[in-house]
Amino acid sequence: MNALTKTQSIPHYQPTAGECELFETAQINGLPLLLKGPTGCGKTRFVEHMAARTDRPLYTVACHDDLSAADLIGRYLLRGGETEWVDGPLTRAVREGAICYLDEVIEARKDVTVVLHPLTDNRRTLMIDRTGEELVAPPEFMLVASYNPGYQNVLKRLKPSTRQRFLSITFDFPNPQTEIAVVVQESGLDANRTAPLVRLGGCIRQLSGMDLEEGVSTRLLIYAATLMQGGMGVTQAIEAAIIEPLSDDADVQDALRDLVTTVFG
């Protein structure tokens, strides 16, 4: 792969506070990294950007309530009448010296953290009980995880014993100028039409006393801008990409529509 092709294939990401340099330093030193921040603020795009920028394979796992350690490590499957061991994404990443990204790791079952602990200290090992293997992660392997602190509760909370095994970066929504640049880059909508969208996003994030778990994400602003760039009217685009995804409550939706009228006039 030549330099030009590699550059073109790198997903766009706008750095804000030295996070790219921290990622590279962590990668060089074999240190795990934890990304904290609200939904849609760019955590996954950041990892994709850094994997391409450092030319490393990337395995991304979207964690959920039913995700178990076996889903990450692997299991025996019946193929053609024979039982065959199939590596899971974490095992493949360790074998290949790739980046393994566990998105919203807090959603996974508790047995997952037990598997991760030996990979996040000086051992850097992965034990595969079913096969008797103990894999030592090569220097190129990197473990990255993310979660949204705003969604933590008593039943789902990342334990201090796990958090303290990672370097951490806190992500947030970018400042207006940066967010305009990101939305323009991703949607193709011109900056003059993008600016009110970003202003609307900022206003929604500052709302209090409304039944919104989170403010509008940069991702949703990009969706709205993409619809507008494709010829859809502002009102319809915002309805489909922002108002409907944010809430099912009719009163909340009406309040958001009033806010749209105030911002766009």
- For 30-44, what is each residue's pLDDT tens digit? 999 999 998 888 999
CATH number for the domain spanning 40: value is 3.40.50.300
Q: Are residues 41 and 62 in the same domain?
A: yes
Q: Are residues 250 and 161 in the same domain?
A: no
Containing structural domain, residue 200:
176-264
Q: Are residues 154 and 186 in the same domain?
A: no
Q: Who's near 259: CB < 8 A, 6+ residues apart?
A: 200, 203, 204, 207
Angle between helices 250-264 and 191-205 (to 10 degrees): 140
Q: Of the residues 170, 185, 211, which one is the last residue of a structural domain?
A: 170
pLDDT at 265: 79
pLDDT at 184: 97
pLDDT at 136: 96
pLDDT at 210: 64
Q: Are residues 161 and 206 in the same domain?
A: no
CA nearest to 93, candidates 143, 155, 161: 143
How many structural domains comprise the chain?
A: 2
Q: Are residues 201 and 160 in the same domain?
A: no
Q: Are residues 12 and 87 in the same domain?
A: yes
- In this structure, the number of other CB atoms found within 10 A of the CB of residue 80 comes to 5
Q: Are residues 216 and 150 in the same domain?
A: no
Q: Of the residues 135, 170, 205, which one is the last residue of a structural domain?
A: 170
DSSP string over 74-106? EEEEEETTEEEEEE-HHHHHHHHT-EEEEETGG
Q: Are residues 165 and 188 in the same domain?
A: no
pLDDT at 80: 79
Q: Are residues 15 and 113 in the same domain?
A: yes
Q: Of the residues 135, 152, 170, which one is the last residue of a structural domain?
A: 170
Q: Are residues 64 and 135 in the same domain?
A: yes
Instruction: Give the span between the Cα atoms of 33 and 198, in whole angstroms.
Output: 29
- Which stretches of the chain drop beneath a pLDDT of 50? 1-8, 154
Q: Are residues 140 and 184 in the same domain?
A: no
CA nearest to 121, candidates 156, 180, 89, 162: 162
Element (DSSP H or E) covering residue 114: helix 110-116
The Cβ-side half-sphere exposure at 175, using a 13 Å CA radius, reads: 4
Instruction: Give the span between the Cα atoms of 3 and 85, in whole angstroms.
Output: 38
Q: Are residues 46 and 113 in the same domain?
A: yes
Residue type, 12: H
